[in-house]
Chain A
């Protein structure tokens, strides 16, 4: 199998000319990159809408748009960010790119299905974009599509929910593919307890994708059926119960939060030991805590519904279960910190993103306790406190995990290194802008500013101004970061196999990897976090 003389990197291996070499390729790495590019484009669109929302809210009363457009803004911002960026981002992009390589496989178990998943993603995406510009206006329900409003609004909800249904299908197929890949295609020497923890995180995520997403499928399908045929399953006038909708919706959408954040935790778990030059602290605890989060996270959906009219017993039970999720989450955080303790830390951009992940996600988690406790939740329910909380968790968590992954694996994907100084500056701006943007939300939420409101009382004005200014700093950080990465794809300094001197399998293959991932049969010579004797990269140090 010695083809050492001529290794064609996957980026140049095209069966078809031009763009078809990408969109018909069943190579998991190309599909991963397709996902990465498409989710990033959607992310930028979502950010632009978010910035417009912030500008509208910089002063009370009308600033740039009318109330109906504002409703469409926050709905579209939510739908795009949740369904089109955050959920597919890390598992579909980086999972596809690195899951097979990390377990020493040549591809995923079902390469054609993998490509089909991406096509479904694009079809869902087109439907959602289509819903914005056709019919009687963009959906204005909020990304949760709560009934009965979503049944009766004249805006284009029907098209949007079908888009969401198809996206859910795409997510299920990706999860199914990953589970089968992990079970069937691991190299024989790689036992379960030798898998990299990113693989464990993806494995846990895949189970949530497979087990929770169908419920969302039926829920949005029911909205479509209700709107088309007026059956009335959720319409009180016909005997239906809107609360049931909320149950069905959150049975998926709460576990979906863990689809978003568990893979990001996996990324952080890969980054931290590499830059602390130390074996990860508590390998098994981290591996099992991923599964524990997946399991416990499936039992807590009704903590979104304390004020919706449930029995007190149900509220107490769901409050209790919600607190249980904090345990495996805290296990991870403590293990990351323990890994850093007495390590020889090398501060590089990926580590900065990982550290800010821990900081921001901790704030998200601690504010989550306030929302998870039934008593305090009654006070801050549906206020900006919630908005602040989930942006700290999802953007501060998944978003920074995604940026960390981009900076960590960039040299592996393109064989080049970005400018680390610019990357650090971009990171600092992102981190500062992020906190200026979202921290005031926690404060005005505590003061009573409701979420999703177009207008507000003067006492919230200062908070909104600070927050909007923060959004600009954040945007500048994003522009610098993307510019730096984009430029480095072609012009960055060339790197060898292992610029970070990491120990997982993807760093033993050339950068960028060849089509079938490895030049010769991969050998498992060390554990994923054993750095002793990792060969220094001769082309780069």
Chain B
């Protein structure tokens, strides 16, 4: 029934629109962050010192590298090298898991120290620090969920590559997966300095 020809530009256009909505979704949280930073500058500073910049830095490297491999995977399929595309995309996926594992240990360490939402140890701290860690868990948590969604999309794309549903002539799915992955990366690039560096 569907005799509508595949619209390459249309698919990309739709994806970009969707990415705008994702930015706005996080935008609400960035608004909260900026207002609470304004309200509690010293508490944010003190709490921010407690985050481990090496964990955050390692994760930044992992994500940025994964974006590079994503882009190379697209180049590979454009040159009709299916095998290389699959390899690069698999590395992207592996780096996503590196990110999540890293995050697991980072959050785990915080939980170990009694810092988690609504925990007794956290509630004894000043209000600004409660808010800081609240935002930290909500924003990195929401970002983590996006990493998981991105990983699922990459796995799906890998299968499509394998069965040549994604190929040299029709690789918009891979490109859109790439766009989504770059967005996840981009959001982290904002989260990282806000929580780990500037405070």
Binding site for B on A (CB under 8 A): 15, 26-27, 106-107, 109-111, 113, 172, 176-177, 179-180, 183-185, 210-211, 213-215, 217-219, 221-222, 225, 229-233, 238-241, 244, 247-248, 251, 515-516
Contacts and interface: CB of A to CB of B under 8 A. Distances in A.
Given A176-B17, A211-B24, A109 B3 contact: no
B117 to A, nearest CB: 4
Contact of A26 (B2, B10, B39, B117): B2
A241 B134 contact: no
Interface of B: 1-4, 7, 9-10, 13-14, 17-18, 20-22, 24-29, 31-32, 35-36, 39-40, 117-118, 123, 126-128, 130-131, 134-135, 137-138, 142
B21 A109 contact: no
A113 B134 CA distance: 35
B127 A180 contact: no
Contacts of B18: 172, 176
Given A176-B17, A214-B25, A218-B29, A233 B134 contact: yes
Contact of A15 (B1, B17, B135, B137): B1
Given A214-B27, A218-B25, A239-B128, A230 B118 contact: yes
Contacts of B142: 221
Contact of A176 (B3, B14, B28, B32): B14
Given A106-B3, A176-B18, A248-B31, A233 B138 contact: yes
Given A106-B4, A211-B21, 5 more contacts: A184-B9, A210-B17, A214-B28, A231-B134, A232-B118
A241 B7 CA distance: 46
B110 to A, nearest CB: 14
Chain A CB within 10 A, most for which of B2, B39, B135: B2
Contact of A177 (B14, B131, B134): B14
Contacts of A26: 1-2
B21 A210 contact: yes
Contacts of B9: 184
A232 B17 contact: no
Contacts of B130: 232, 238-239
Contacts of A232: 117-118, 130-131, 134
B41 to A, nearest CB: 13
A214 B21 contact: yes
B24 A214 contact: yes
A183 B135 CA distance: 38
List the 8 closest A-B pairs by CB distance, nearest first: A239-B127, A230-B118, A218-B28, A214-B24, A231-B134, A229-B117, A184-B10, A214-B25
